[in-house]
Amino acid sequence: NKSETIYDAIGGDSTIKALVKAFYKRVGKHPKLTPIFPKDLTETEIKQYWFLSQFFGGPKLFNENRGHPMMRRRHLPFEITPSRRDAWLDCMAKALDEVQIKEPYRTMMFERLTLTAHHMVNTSD
């Protein structure tokens, strides 16, 4: 009686890899986001791949490599305003479309990411 995870339902490892690639391609070009992200997003993409794998029910790669997620705490060094949150979510929505995540998983994933993104806001615009 084991229910399938979102991770398995969307195609597992290769889908998460394609998603983070499609996401950071947009982050790296977004004028609201580039000021706070590193110029080279290679490492950022790997950390996000670890995180999203476990976030959607796959292997606990983030915990294995970086320890407890503590996402809000890890974001405190960066000024995350409501407009940056919206920019982040816009990049993610477009990435979910690009890799053609099917319903109901697309909506489930975007809702979870939206809740987490709202929690990350730590300053005003």
CA-to-CA dists, residue 99 to 17, 40, 102, 106, 107, angstroms: 10, 22, 9, 10, 14
In one letter, which amino acid is 63?
A: N
Q: How far is the CB of 81 from ligand HEM (least distance, A)?
A: 8
Token code pair at residue 98: 């690009």
* Residue 118 among known ligand-binding residues: yes
Binding mask 39-68 for ligand HEM (x = CB under 6 A): ----xx--xx--x--------------x--
Using the rule CB under 6 A, is 122 a contact of ligand HEM?
no
Site size with ligand HEM, rule: CB under 6 A: 21
- In the list 38, 59, 60, 76, the residue contacting ligand HEM (rule: CB under 6 A) is 38
Closest CA to 44 of 30, 56, 57, 28: 28
The annotated binding site for heme is made up of 118
